[in-house]
Structure 1
Amino acid sequence: MQYHTTHRQSLLKAVILWISFTLVPLALSAQNFKLNNGEGEVKVTGTSTLHDWEEVAEQKSGTIVLDNTGELPKISSLKFTVESESLKSGKGTMDKNTYKALETKDHKEIVFELKSVKSISPVTSASNKYKAVATGSLTIAGSTNTIDLPFNLTIHEGKILLEGKKGLKMTDYKIEPPKALLGTITTGDEIEVHYNTVWK
């Protein structure tokens, strides 16, 4: 009985050690990066019957979990958030109309969350730069759609750079394009989101 108990304990220890040595390298290979709000820029551009416009996001946050030990980097998670009322155009009236359209009292954040990486491939001119397309859910003003988000991914000196742009339609998120001056100025339905972000 003593022999069987000791043998069973030894076997259990061996299994625990094997699991530990197997999982530890996997844990070490995946790194967690956080968006640096102080660097880079996220802006939204669009048109109106009067002039083109842009709004810059002053408050943004996010995390990426990335494994760069293989031939191609693997992104296992990506979440990106912009505070709705941090979008600033430099014009108070326009900002108020934007916040009204986005219903910011009830929906304080714009959020993209990764579902899968559709494609990733190296850029031939640089060893640390890749073109990627991520499929994920984008939530604006309480409405969520699945979109493909294209970006260039650069890994450099402990940082990740994500750069790209994505066209969207406000009406796809049940947003009525803002109007001004009693409806004489109307914002175009199509907008473009430009992102140049730094993650550490």
Structure 2
Amino acid sequence: MQSQFKKRPFSIKSVILLMTFGLIPIALAAQSYQISKGEGEVMVTGTSTLHDWEEVAEQKSGSIALDNTGELPKIKTLKFTVEAESLKSGKGAMDKNTYKALNTKKHKEIVFVLKNVKSVSPVVSSSDKYKVVATGDLTISGNTNTIDLPFNLTINGDKVLLKGKKALKMTDYGVEPPKALLGTITTGDEIEVHFNTVWK
């Protein structure tokens, strides 16, 4: 019996090599993409007692990892960040009120981090586009809520496109809607985030 066991020696080195080579296909299956800062757009729209408004994010960053080896792509990771003070409306006074409401001196970033993917379904008219509903944590002004984020995912060679929109309430994140002219102009609580982003 002892001689039989001696014929099958397994060293720690052999086990490590087997584990390493076994994990290589998994590592290669997921491909990582970084957001293209010079392409795409992220915009926030809303209303006020005076007029509708919009702000465009001039600084954004993020990464997404996809496994596209199966029938449907799998989103392994997704993180998206907007610099809060890069939101620009073209009106300096409005921007200052926005930064004050968001408390940007303390909370510099708006961040979405994926927790899980609820659904992925192909768009019938396209071979490379999918409808996705992702669940993740959205942090605004230091307050975090878990939300469902719907978007279209397009995989085009070395590019990935994410396009969608999401309605939010500022007060859900402890943000008081900005006011102007001694409170005579009030911003509506409801806003909508529109994103059309390119990842490479």
Q: Same fold (TM over 0.5)?
A: yes
Deviations 1:105-132, CA, capped at 9 Å, x for gaps: 0000000000000111000100100000
Unaligned runs of 5+ in 1: none
Q: Distance in 2 between matches of 1:125 and 1:18?
A: 44
Give the aligned partner of residue 29 of structure 1: 29
SS at match of 2:90: coil
Give the aligned partner of residue 74 of structure 1: 74
1:82 partner letter: V
Give the aligned partner of residue 104 of structure 1: 104
Deviations 1:8-52, CA, capped at 9 Å, x for gaps: 24x656544432332101100101110111000000000000000
Residues 28-67 of structure 1 mapped to structure 2, 5 A cutoff: 28-67=28-67
Give the aligned partner of residue 142 of structure 2: 142
Deviations 1:118-151, CA, capped at 9 Å, x for gaps: 1110001001000001000000001100000000
Displacement of 1:157 after TM fit?
1.7
- Identity rate of aligned residues, in percent? 73
Give the aligned partner of residue 87 of structure 1: 87
TM-score (normalizing by structure 2): 0.94
1:104 partner letter: T
SS at match of 1:25: helix
Give the aligned partner of residue 155 of structure 2: 155
Give the aligned partner of residue 18 of structure 1: 18
Give the aligned partner of residue 9 of structure 2: 8
1:8 partner letter: P
Give the aligned partner of residue 125 of structure 1: 125
